[in-house]
Amino acid sequence: MAHYVDGFVVPVPADKIDAYRAMAEAAGKIWLEHGALQFVETLADDVKPGKVTSFPQSVQLKDGETVVFSYIVYASREERDRVNAKVMEDPRLKSMMESADMPFDPQRMFFGGFKTIVELGRS
């Protein structure tokens, strides 16, 4: 079965990884509560700058920062739109997004929605 995926690439200061993780765990619970199937946050481990393009270059990575790659899985594009509408109205998420102490620079984050075309895995 094909799913729909929102993907995110985020620059996070190394000294704010714990704060980012706490925020992501809280946000992930909200997404799952409203119907997302899976919420995943990953921290760069083997990510090197490229000659033409790369994850670090894509977010204009600065000294002392690392890259987080995240994705949220939904049953369909329609379900993603429904879930995101509820999440964006959730007061818990609104308060996180309005916080003056955001643990990353949202202006350098990029994201998009994707239709899956191949899904393989083990049950």
The tally of domains found in the chain comes to: 1
- For residue 72, the domain's CATH number is 3.30.70.100
For residue 120, the model assigns a pLDDT of 94
pLDDT-derived band at 14 (thresholds 50, 70, 90) equals very high
Model pTM greater than 0.75?
yes
Please report the sign of the dihedral spanned by the C-alpha atoms of residue 38, residue 39, residue 45, residue 47.
Answer: positive
Q: Based on C-alpha coordinates, what's the Rg of the chain?
A: 15
Is 93 part of a structural domain of the chain?
yes
Calculate mean pLDDT across residues 115-123: 92
Is 121 part of a structural domain of the chain?
no
Range of the domain at 50: 4-115
**94-109 pLDDT tens trace:** 898 887 788 999 999 9
Q: Are 30 and 90 in contact (CB under 8 A)?
A: yes
Is 101 part of a structural domain of the chain?
yes
Amino acid, res. 83:
V
| For residue 50, pLDDT beyond 90 | no
C-alpha–C-alpha distance, residues 36 and 73, integer Å: 6
